[in-house]
Structure formats: structure tokens, C-alpha cells
Copies of this chain bind each other. A is one copy, B any other.
Amino acid sequence: MATEIEHKFLVVDDGWRAGVERAVAMRQGYLVSDAVRSVRVRVEGDSAALNVKGAVVGIARREYEYAIPLADAAEMLDELCGQKVEKTRHYVRHAGHLWEVDVFEGANAGLVVAEIELAHAGEPFVRPPWVGADVSHDLRYYNSQLAVHPYQDWR
């Protein structure tokens, strides 16, 4: 078990692109996502994982992740999950922290968010100039929600 502490921000300009260390294509779907738990299937480059998360309690969530065979994940995504979320994740170094900048595609094209994972809730971090509003607590930006209510339908 791990307790995940992360902050999520909207990205307001392309300033982050200069700091990209690497990028990976991601495709994910959900076997379940409700008020109590979510089970996510993700293909990330050449690897895949099953992820179980507990209900949201502020910005800390219980999380379990297990590597699974790529072929299993591809079958589950195609046959057992509902709508998929596709994005390219960019790892960006800023002021000593590694940020994840997700550029969404498909039905969520146009959305770009940046996340930082902290070791503990009080850990200080520098807010980069290319981030805007803190949407950590906004359910609409959860990937599980983006699967069923994609960004392009918001407008």
C-alpha cells in the first residue's frame, strides 16, 4: 500500500516544453470507477499495469499498482473497459521536482494538466510559471471522469 499525495494544475502555456526529459504515450481505461474505488488498466509505452485506488480523501489516496503483461492489458482495454483516455505524458524537471505534464488526445484533446507527486503532504515545492489553477480537488479532471465526460463535451 502507498498513500498518494499529489497536486494537479491546469497548464497555461508551452513554457514546460523546454524542460521535457522524456515522454511516453499512454492509453487507459477503467474496469470500475465509483465513489469507493477505481481499477484502472494502463498501457504506457511497452509496459502495462493494473492500478487500484481507494476513495478520495482530500489529496491523499490509497493506491496499489501491479505490472501486468502488455497483451493482457490490451485485451482488457479492448474488451472489458468502457471509453478510453489517451494522452502523452511528459516528464518535466522544475526546481528539483519531476512534474508530469499530460497532453490529452482524442475526445479530451485541448486539455493539458500538470501533476506533482509529493513525499508527504507538507513537502514544499516551487509552482512553475506555466501552471494556472489548482484543480487537485476538481473531480472533472480525474482521468476516470475524463473517460466518461471528455473535455471536448464540456464546452
Q: Tell whether, in the assembled complex, residue A75 and residue B1 are in contact, meaning their CB atoms are under 8 Å apart.
A: yes
Q: How far is the CB of A62 from chain B (nearest CB, A)?
A: 7
Copies in the complex: 2
Q: Tell whether, in the assembled complex, residue A64 and residue B39 are in contact, meaning their CB atoms are under 8 Å apart.
A: no
With a cutoff of 8 Å between Cβ atoms, the chain B residues found around residue A1 in the complex are 71-72, 75
Q: Tell whether, in the assembled complex, residue A75 and residue B50 are in contact, meaning their CB atoms are under 8 Å apart.
A: no
With a cutoff of 8 Å between Cβ atoms, the chain B residues found around residue A66 in the complex are 50, 66, 68
With a cutoff of 8 Å between Cβ atoms, the chain B residues found around residue A31 in the complex are 31-32, 37, 39, 52
Q: Tell whether, in the assembled complex, residue B50 and residue A62 are in contact, meaning their CB atoms are under 8 Å apart.
A: no
Q: How far is the CB of A3 from chain B (nearest CB, A)?
A: 11
| Chain A residues engaging chain B, CB cutoff 8 angstroms | 1, 31-32, 36-37, 39, 50, 52, 54, 62, 64, 66, 68, 71-72, 75-76, 79-80
Which of B32, B50, B79, B80 has a CB less than 8 Å from the CB of A50?
B50
A50-B66, A66-B50 as given contacts; A37 in contact with B71, CB under 8 Å:
no
Which of B32, B36, B64, B72 has a CB less than 8 Å from the CB of A64?
B72
| Complex A-B: 21 CB contacts under 8 Å | A1-B71, A31-B31, A31-B37, A31-B39, A31-B52, A32-B32, A32-B39, A36-B80, A37-B80, A39-B39, A50-B50, A50-B52, A52-B76, A52-B80, A54-B80, A62-B75, A62-B80, A64-B68, A64-B72, A66-B66, A66-B68
